[in-house]
A = this chain, B = another copy of it.
Amino acid sequence: MRYYPDPAREIDLVRVNRAIEEAFAEHARGRVQMPPKLYVTLERGDFRTMPGYIPSLGIAGVKIVNVHPGNPARHLPTVMALTVILDVETGRPESLLNATDLTDLRTGAAGAVAAKYLSPRRSVRLGLVGAGRQARAQVMAVGKELSIREVLVWSRTRESAERFCGNLPGVPCRSEDLEAVCDCDILITTTPSREPLVRDRWISEGTHINAIGADAPGKQELDPAILQRASVFVDDILQAVHSGEVNVPIARGLYTKEQIAGTLGEVVTGRKGRKSVDEITVFDSTGLAIQDLAIAAIARESAEGIDLPFLSFSHDGSGESPGKVSSHGDVVSGEKKRKKG
């Protein structure tokens, strides 16, 4: 068994986009297993358990991820994640990945895949509502698929929007008010809002929107009137109805499950898509276990890992004795040594 403490550090974002695209395609083809995400509520947050299996990639496992909004005050990220990968042949725990950064990247990649297929323009002005880690991940991933002319950023404080731009190398970027940010080709919303921030009249025809922030019941970022005007594509119908951008409008009778235009996987496989350049399209992302597996498959190929003992002497004949418990973890590069642990 091998642990990867920082598997996102050297990862190739183009490869991530392609892997996420393929995971969505397999989802549309009905070739993955993905039971519904389970939520456990803690006093100051929650954690979600996300198992899955992608046979075509030969990868199976579980991501465990928390959401604790008070964590930044403790100098901890709001969201932390760990992915456990099992050997599909034997069920043996094979890899553990710190999936905190990978979670940002796989969500960014889903936005990039949506933008690739649903944006009517290849050279785009990006509007960002929210200026946190996910906003950055979206820009980095979309930049691998489309040419970004400029980035307009709104955040609750102008300081955070300006700091965001300061940390974005090589792309013209400026802080704007909310309405001005919406005057763009691709709008990306990444806030934890529970009330609509983006008004219907601010959105022009032909805009594509990545609605990323809503990932739990009660969350929403867009005026439901936008959904009525748009073709809304989701990552997974059940998850979106439960916790995506459409969850509040559906619960309030302002939108229906039947109005959902399709899944991103159906878009990737060519079964669904944008109908005209004037149409407004929305990608409603909740985050799928198969995205976590797809990025884990890439990450562990190149990242540094620490070998850990797993089987005790009583279970196999390999001579890996419990005494080895007290030896130091063996640090190896993923490329150099691929011994199963």
**CB <8 Å contact, A96 and B98:** no
A68-85: CB near B (< 8 Å → 1, else 0) gives: 100100111100101010
Contact among B55, B101, B315, B325 for A77, CB-based, below 8 A:
B315
| A190 to B61 Cα, complex, angstroms | 27
A308–B62 CA distance with the chains assembled, in angstroms? 19
Give complex CA distance A324, B84 in Å. 21
Beta-carbon nearest neighbor of A67 in chain B: B91
Given A6-B322, A75-B316, CB of A80 within 8 Å of CB of B93:
yes
CB contacts (< 8 Å) of A61 on chain B: these are 64
A157 within 8 Å of B (CB atoms) = no
Complex interface: chain B residues within 8 A of A318 (CB): 75
Q: Is the CB of A98 within 8 A of B310?
A: yes
Residue pair B90, A44 in contact (C-beta under 8 Å):
yes
Alpha-carbon separation in the docked complex, A93 to B100 (Å):
11
Interface residues of A in 42-62 (CB under 8 A from B): 42-47, 49, 51-53, 55, 60-62
Contacts of A92 in B (CB 8 A): 66, 76, 80
CB distance from A100 to the nearest CB of B (A): 7
Residues of A85-113 whose CB lies within 8 A of B: 86, 88-93, 96, 98, 100-101
- Do A42 and B60 touch across chains, with their CB atoms under 8 A apart? yes
CB distance from A23 to the nearest CB of B (A): 15
Q: Which residues on the B side are within 8 Å of A46 (C-beta)? A: 91
Q: How large is the interface on A (under 10, 10 to 19, 20 to 34, 35 or more residues)?
A: 35 or more
**Residues on the B chain within 8 Å of A164, using CB:** none
- What's the least CB distance linking A190 to chain B, in Å? 17
**Interface membership of A317, Cβ < 8 A:** yes
A66-B90 in contact (CB<8A): yes
Q: Is A26 an interface residue (CB 8 A)?
A: no
The answer to whether A273 has its CB under 8 Å from any CB of chain B is no
Given contacts A75-B316, A76-B92, A91-B68, contact A325 B35 (CB under 8 A): no
Q: Is the CB of A38 within 8 A of B40?
A: no
Q: Are A51 and B41 in contact (CB under 8 A)?
A: no
Complex alpha-carbon distance, A205 and B33, angstroms = 46
- Inter-chain contacts of A326 with B (CB < 8 A): 304, 331
Distance between A7 CB and nearest chain B CB, rounded to angstroms? 9
Residue A39 at the chain B interface, CB threshold 8 Å: yes
A80 to chain B: which residues have CB within 8 Å?
90-93, 310-311
Residue A154 interfacial (CB < 8 Å) = no
Chain B residue at minimal CB-CB distance from A309: B5
Chain B residues whose C-beta falls within 8 Å of the C-beta of A42 in the assembled complex: 53, 60, 86, 88, 91
Is A84's CB under 8 angstroms from B86's CB? no
A60 contact set on B, CB distance < 8 A: 40, 42, 47
**Could you tell me the distance between the alpha carbons of A68 and B88 in the complex, rounded to whole angstroms?**
10
Top 7 A-B residue pairs of the complex, sorted by shortest distance between their CB atoms? A66-B91, A329-B329, A35-B38, A49-B51, A328-B328, A5-B309, A82-B93
